[in-house]
Amino acid sequence: MTPGADAVTPEPPAAPSDTGWLRVSPKYVVVEVVGSIVGMAIFVGAFVIAYLLWGQWWALWAAIAVGVVSIVGIALEPRRVRSIGYRLREDDLLFRRGIMFQRQVAVPYGRMQLVDITRGPVARALGLADLKFVTAAASTAVTVPGLPMEEADRLRDELVALAETRRAGL
């Protein structure tokens, strides 16, 4: 910068206008189904091994029960993924999920302390990421799963900038 030139101060990021409800990627169903299948295989396998090695009849019934419950859960995965949504409002991020037991959380931008991106192996293969928001209150940690990686990066950068300009009481 040359002497006498006016210093340009960066303008704080504008608050997003209400975006309406945004959904996670439909590919997130694959991540949930693969996780359910792996979990089912481990438990059913353990019960079948207990049945075969020690002849415990209850283990065979437990394996069948776990298999049936898991298959029902897998059948409901597409609906559960469609129930996940987030909304950027002027002062906060609103997150919702759940079919029968619904959860809705508002996270004020000024209270966000950490915005973290995580990716498991299946999500990484599909180009998806989870965006986690942490505040001082442990009960308000919110994770928006199944975002495309580019959207997660963009949203993280935007929310960090908004949080920096709106620190509330910190």
Evaluate if residue 170 carries a pLDDT over 80: no
CB 18 within 8 A of CB 87: yes
SS3 107: strand
CATH top-level class of 85-170: mainly beta
Task: Tell me the DSSP string of 51-63.
Answer: HHHH--HHHHHHH
Read off the amino acid at residue 4.
Answer: G
SS3 132: strand
Buried b (16+ CB within 10 A) or exposed e, 151-170: bbeebbeebeebbeebeeee
Q: How confident is the model at residue 12 (pLDDT cuts 50, 70, 90)?
A: low
Contacts of 115 by beta carbon, 8 Å cutoff, 6+ apart: 131, 132, 133, 134, 156, 159, 160, 163
What are the tens digits of pLDDT across the range 102-135?
999 998 888 888 899 999 999 999 999 999 988 8
Evaluate if residue 13 carries a pLDDT over 70: no
- Tell me the pLDDT of the chain averaged across its residues: 89
Contacts of 126 by beta carbon, 8 Å cutoff, 6+ apart: 25, 27, 28, 30, 31
- 136 membership: H or E segment, kind and range: none
Contacts of 97 by beta carbon, 8 Å cutoff, 6+ apart: 80, 83, 84, 85, 103
Q: How far apart are CA 169 and CA 53, in angstroms?
A: 61
* pLDDT at residue 137, rounded to an integer: 76
Q: Where are the domains of the chain?
A: 24-82, 85-170
Phi and psi dihedrals of 32, rounded to 5? -65, -40
Q: Which carries the bigger pLDDT value, residue 74 or residue 136? A: 74
pTM: 0.84
Q: How confident is the model at residue 9 (pLDDT cuts 50, 70, 90)?
A: low
Q: Residues 8, 155, 17, CA angle at the centre, nearest 5°?
A: 75
Residue 170 exposure: Cα atoms within 13 Å on the Cβ side: 13
CB 66 within 8 A of CB 40: yes
